Chains A and B, each alone.
Chain A
Amino acid sequence: MKVKKRNSEVEQNSEDRILNDLFRHKLENAEVTPSASTGTRLMRRVAMREFLRFNPARVNIWYAGAVAAAGAAIAIILASDPSTENKTTEPEPVEISRDVPVISKSDKIINTGDPENRNTRENKSAREELEIQETAIRNSGNEPIQKMRFDSEGAGKVSIPAAEAMHEVTDMGDRKIRLFAGDGSYMNASVTQGCAPLQVSFRCMAAAYDSCLWRFGDGGHSSAGNPVWLFDIEGEYKVTLTVYSSGMVHNSSVMITVHPKPEARFEVICENNVDSDDEILFRNYSEGAQRFNWDFGDGNGSGVFEPRHKYSRDGNYTVRLIAISEYGCADSMVIENAFTASSCFIEFPNAFIPNPNGPSGGYYSPKSDEASHIFHPVFSGVSDYQLRIFTRRGVMIFESNDINYGWDGYYQGRLCDPGVYVWKVRGNFINSTTFTRMGDVTLIKN
């Protein structure tokens, strides 16, 4: 550590303030857009919490529903299993010799059970209907896009760069549109419609004038002769030009249409362990777009809204989506090396309790109870793997080349002593990066 000198402390303080101010000014209110799945995941979590929360206001809906469902379940069990029901009730009536009331009782149960049963069935069918409606809505959203995909595939274009799509529009607008209305307009706009942000160069065509005033319809104005204005919000703007010339005032106007810019957004959904022949789902969160051009980075593409794609080889791929709106406005998003960061990881716990009842061989599936007794990583996107475990003295006591086999805590059939063991792992991720990790694990006996 450096020993601070007293005389430089004042200087140091002002310097610190500058550093602090830098971070404060830049980051205090900095905004970062969360990835789209965060919102949906959050809402799912909140919905779950809401459901579990005891809410007196909703007792009627949820709890009545639960009671009805439970009642119906009991009724179904009773109704579907009359033989066992009879067996248990039979001895009693024989003894007491009162057959009739008992039978009527059980009848009653079934009777009361029935309307509830019907209720739940109705509920269920209603829910099903809802689901069908929902999927119908979803489908109807997808359908036109799917149709379009065939169009675009038919055209054989895999990726239209965003610039090209933009170009068409500007081209169209570049035909200088002269606006000479009946009474003679003095203005000329380079473009009258286009995608936001739209830059338009205006020219005042009057031969001689004292002054002129442009009003751009979005609150902006200019008194320059040939202003250039940027419309960054979509909408229709009435641009007026007022020319003052030797006591005369002349107004002319033009409509500028700014089309909304679509927003291309997507995420790569890569569930746990990705093999090279797994299909990968691309989630599309684009807004305001109708056509989509996907470039998966391996030479293949798609025009589907949410495509699935199989990569024939592992590797780093750069995925690109171009979203095009009905007006031909385009936006693109690129994820470079899409299969590195989140989809490929390997993490080890730092302690585990082996099964005291004997060696298990080390095979585990993440869902089984046995998994908790075995030292193994959580991982995603691992292709090659070698795990070695050593004692503190450096004796290798375990080696595995299969990620599905972990260490069960036994060495030569005997349970190892509790304590710290050292592990080392080497391997490759599917994106062909290698990893080497080392660490320690504490074996605990209970």
Chain B
Amino acid sequence: MEIIVCIKQVPGTSKVQVDPVTGVLMRDGIDTKMNPYDLFALETAVRLREKHGGHVKVISMGPKQALDVIKEAFMLGADEGLLVSDRKFAGADVLATSYALSQGIRKMGEFDIILTGKQTTDGDTAQVGPEIAEYLEIPHIANVLKITEVTVKSVTVEMDMPDTVELVRVTYPCLLSVEKDIFAPRLPSFKKKTETKDREIRIIGLNDMEDKDEKRYGLSGSPTQVERIFPPDENSDKETWEGSGEELADRLSDKLKELKFI
């Protein structure tokens, strides 16, 4: 089985704030990690390879720093990695990101399944998987809870729906976006780290892509734009209570009585 997993490097903490005086975005530390939801996709890929043979390749888009998540993927069992990186891809929204990744995937050879995590912890959109599938003109299944059967031509999965769970079979090539907890992710292997420390990671940019039209990537290729950013609204209509634990408890129960919750 040839499996490709899309992974992303995301901020370690989510403490971005707007400085109320300067209006500047402040970030608390620049530590990074692999998007936790991707760990489930990677685990799924490695287990499929363990059972059915083949290769697990990972692809990521980001600055050179993102090589770290590809190395982490090697420690978790991935065979090959590709980094899509170019200043011209900067400022990309979901559409431009998905396009760049789909173009990158076209450089990775034939595949049966592309796996993605449900969403990222910084973007939170959950859109990139389906959009990549559209660009590659392959079917996709989102909200995959479980993989129940794998054959040489197709995979059968349980798909989460609002009121039901559907058992669905899809033929290759296809894209699956997996839910958290589909499998318990393994820990990175120090042994694998040593084995793979010199493994080459290919880096490709705009000039390596089939489509070299700048306007399809980065900010130019992004139909959505952030017009402005601002701190969240304050609730002006509020009361602040201070006092001892007892006082506050009593005051609260009185208020709840007044509001007829008790």
Q: Do A and B bind each other?
A: no
